[in-house]
């Protein structure tokens, strides 16, 4: 980390406007950091050196004329799920080999209009399907955090609970020795989170279908917000599950996340799910008092087998908000226990439909066959990774004749009940809900238990999927370290289109907890 790459977006913005530094200098510092560290982290799958320098030069010209945009001259990393005109956009999948779109996503268009600089495209789980960034065709991303201690972490086992809920706890729990083992950064936005935490960009775009912004943010000591469904345009973002996907930022602190979301959010005629509501100045919410605010604590989030340090962190968060003048209220979200199994019916069902377009005919990979059906089959067999194939098969099954009513339709009914739980709580006067962000800190790359049991991997989303199922905004804020010195996060859930409340409350937690940076070992 250099003096320049250590600046937050807010700090860099101030120095750029004061002409204390130039965007060219800032961009070159980040490019040098990427060139030196990316072989270690594998966070970038494409680095756009020339484009970044051209954009920085244009920003410096605007700054010299006093025409600065909201992100003028700020170097960002872009998740490989966002279409970037003429630049590698492959959702980190072999099936999209060589694809460079002729168009720009609405989100990146908004960022460029505000003066941001693109450093390159960031690694991710293939088609955003994963919780560890290990399903990428380009290999796993390495978390810049690592344990230098010899302590072990107790990993919760899994069991099938009431109503078919797959939860943590029960039985014998496994003990994992971490040592100096390489750790996952979370997923699917692992490249985004790792690059922000390792100072390889000032901020990054990300997407969240079931926790893919908040979980990697928690694993890397960064801030990640998943906005309300419809707040940010999905046009030009490669689709996973269309009714769940939402784009948002990952940044170093709450203020930077607020600055980025203001630029990313907009109504968009090209996206029929985009909602025409005003985009407020989110940064103005930073520092507002939370006195008198009602904070809900859902009893259903105390899952069996949850590590004691997660419960302790949660209690600290409750105490911080209480000390700041908020009123703490115990609440119930009774259908939470059905959220994870319902999510893993809805999301694969939508994925199986969305991914049907990748057939080798129009773009990307094509494996020749004896006829067109043979070509389809060979292309998809070679182009999709194991996890993507698993979810396509699950999705196709639950949508098939004889199973649609039994699985997909029932999951959609559960989704409605989950949404109503939140509506009732908010109608009763709750302003924001506080929960843990993840059931543990980061785990090791190629962890045998996770690799051999997909259900254990899916459990990483246990605290986050309800937010996507209900279309609500949620933010993960770093709040402490575990026994191995690894970051842990707390999650705040807000009312629809009230992201300001999340920034307001998240900043209180951030101020109480302090900032977290990994010790440089690379």
Give the domain range for residue 209.
9-149+179-336+416-513
How much of the chain exceeds pLDDT 70, in percent? 93
Q: Domain for residue 456, yes or no?
A: yes
Q: Domain for residue 154, yes or no?
A: no
Q: Domain for residue 1, yes or no?
A: no
Q: Domain for residue 95, yes or no?
A: yes
Q: What angle do CA 117, 118, 119 make, to 5 degrees?
A: 115
| Distances in whole angstroms, Cα of residue 464 to Cα of each of 129, 147, 355, 506 | 15, 25, 24, 16
pLDDT band at residue 448 using 50, 70 and 90 as cut-offs:
low
Q: Domain for residue 373, yes or no?
A: no
pLDDT band at residue 158 using 50, 70 and 90 as cut-offs:
very low
Distance CA 51, CA 77 (A): 13
- Written as six digits, the tokens of 432 are 């924001």
Distance CA 211, CA 232 (A): 16
Active-site residue, selected from the candidate residues 132, 188, 233, 266: 188
- What confidence tens digit (pLDDT) does each residue in 73-111 have? 999 999 999 999 999 999 999 999 999 999 999 999 999
Q: Domain for residue 127, yes or no?
A: yes
Domain harbouring 494, CATH code: 3.90.1300.10
Number of domains comprising the chain:
1
| pLDDT at residue 275 is higher than 70 | yes
131 is catalytic: no
Distance CA 393, CA 430 (A): 40
- What confidence tens digit (pLDDT) does each residue in 393-447 have? 999 999 998 899 999 999 999 999 999 999 999 999 999 999 999 999 999 998 8
- Written as six digits, the tokens of 326 are 């908020």
Which position has the token pair 């009230």? 498
Distance CA 76, CA 84 (A): 13
147 is catalytic: no
pLDDT band at residue 163 using 50, 70 and 90 as cut-offs:
very low
pLDDT band at residue 149 using 50, 70 and 90 as cut-offs:
low
Contact assessment for residue 185 and residue 486, using Cβ atoms and an 8 Å cutoff = no
pLDDT band at residue 162 using 50, 70 and 90 as cut-offs:
very low
Distance CA 144, CA 41 (A): 7
User: What confidence score (pLDDT) does residue 154 get?
Assistant: 46
Q: Domain for residue 139, yes or no?
A: yes
User: What confidence score (pLDDT) does residue 369 get?
Assistant: 96
| pLDDT at residue 161 is higher than 70 | no
- Cis ω on the peptide bond leading into residue 188 (within 30° of 0)? yes
Active-site residue, selected from the candidate residues 23, 93, 195, 212: 212
User: What confidence score (pLDDT) does residue 179 get?
Assistant: 59
Q: Domain for residue 432, yes or no?
A: yes
Contact assessment for residue 112 and residue 85, using Cβ atoms and an 8 Å cutoff = no
Active-site residue, selected from the candidate residues 59, 79, 136, 226: 79
CA dihedral 92, 374, 350, 120 (to 10 degrees): 10
Distance CA 505, CA 324 (A): 10
Distance CA 498, CA 474 (A): 10
For 16-72, list the strands marked E by DSSP.
44-47
Which position has the token pair 């900032």? 515
- pTM value is 0.93
263 is catalytic: no
Q: Which of 299, 316, 288, 249 is nearest to 505 (CA)?
A: 288
Distance CA 240, CA 133 (A): 15
């Amino acid at each position: 980390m250099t003096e320049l790459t250590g600046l937050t977006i807010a700090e860099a913005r101030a120095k750029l406007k004061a002409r204390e530094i130039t965007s060219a200098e800032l961009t070159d510092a980040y490019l040098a950091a990427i060139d030196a560290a990316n072989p270690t982290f594998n966070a970038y799958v494409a680095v756009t050196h020339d484009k970044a320098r051209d954009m920085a030069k244009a920003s410096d010209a605007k700054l010299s004329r006093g025409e600065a945009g909201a992100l003028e001259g700020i170097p960002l990393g872009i998740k490989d799920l966002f279409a970037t005109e003429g630049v590698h956009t492959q959702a980190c999948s072999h099936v999209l080999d060589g694809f460079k779109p002729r168009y720009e996503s609405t989100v990146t268009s908004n960022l460029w209009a505000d003066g941001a600089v693109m450093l390159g495209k960031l690694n991710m789980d293939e088609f955003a399907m994963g919780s560890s960034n290990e399903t990428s065709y380009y290999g796993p991303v390495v978390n810049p955090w690592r344990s230098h201690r010899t302590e072990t972490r107790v990993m919760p086992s899994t069991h099938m609970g009431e109503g078919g809920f797959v939860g943590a706890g029960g039985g014998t729990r496994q003990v994992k020795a971490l040592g100096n083992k390489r750790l996952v950064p979370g997923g699917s936005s692992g490249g985004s989170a790792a690059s922000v935490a390792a100072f390889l960009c000032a901020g990054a775009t990300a997407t969240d279908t079931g926790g893919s912004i908040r979980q990697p943010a928690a694993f890397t000591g960064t801030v990640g917000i998943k906005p309300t469904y419809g707040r940010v345009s999905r046009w030009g973002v490669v689709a996973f599950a269309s009714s769940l996907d939402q784009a948002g930022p990952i940044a170093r602190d709450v203020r930077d996340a607020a600055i980025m979301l203001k630029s990313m959010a907009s109504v968009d005629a090209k996206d029929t799910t985009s909602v025409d509501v005003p985009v407020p100045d989110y940064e103005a919410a930073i520092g507002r008092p939370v006195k008198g605010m009602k904070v809900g604590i859902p009893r259903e989030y105390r899952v069996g087998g949850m590590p004691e340090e997660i419960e302790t962190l949660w209690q600290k968060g409750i105490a911080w908000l209480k000390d700041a003048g908020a009123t703490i209220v115990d609440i119930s979200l009774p259908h939470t226990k059905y959220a994870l199994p319902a999510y893993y019916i809805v999301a694969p069902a939508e994925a199986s439909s969305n991914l049907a377009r990748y057939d080798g005919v129009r773009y990307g990979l094509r494996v020749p066959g004896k006829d067109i059906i043979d070509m389809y089959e060979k292309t998809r067999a070679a182009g999709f990774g194991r996890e993507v194939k698993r979810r396509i098969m699950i999705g196709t099954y639950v949508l098939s004749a004889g199973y649609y009513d039994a699985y997909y339709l029932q999951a959609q009914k559960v989704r409605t009940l989950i949404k109503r739980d939140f509506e009732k709580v908010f109608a009763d006067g709750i302003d924001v809900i506080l929960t843990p962000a993840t059931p543990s800190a980061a785990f090791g790359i190629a962890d045998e238990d996770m690799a051999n049991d997909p259900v254990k991997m899916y459990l990483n989303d246990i605290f986050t999927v309800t937010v996507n199922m209900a279309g609500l905004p949620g933010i993960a804020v770093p709040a402490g370290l575990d026994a191995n010195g690894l970051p842990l996060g707390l999650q705040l859930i807000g009312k629809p289109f009230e992201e300001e409340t999340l920034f307001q409350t998240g900043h209180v937690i951030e101020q109480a907890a302090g900032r977290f940076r990994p010790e440089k070992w690379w």
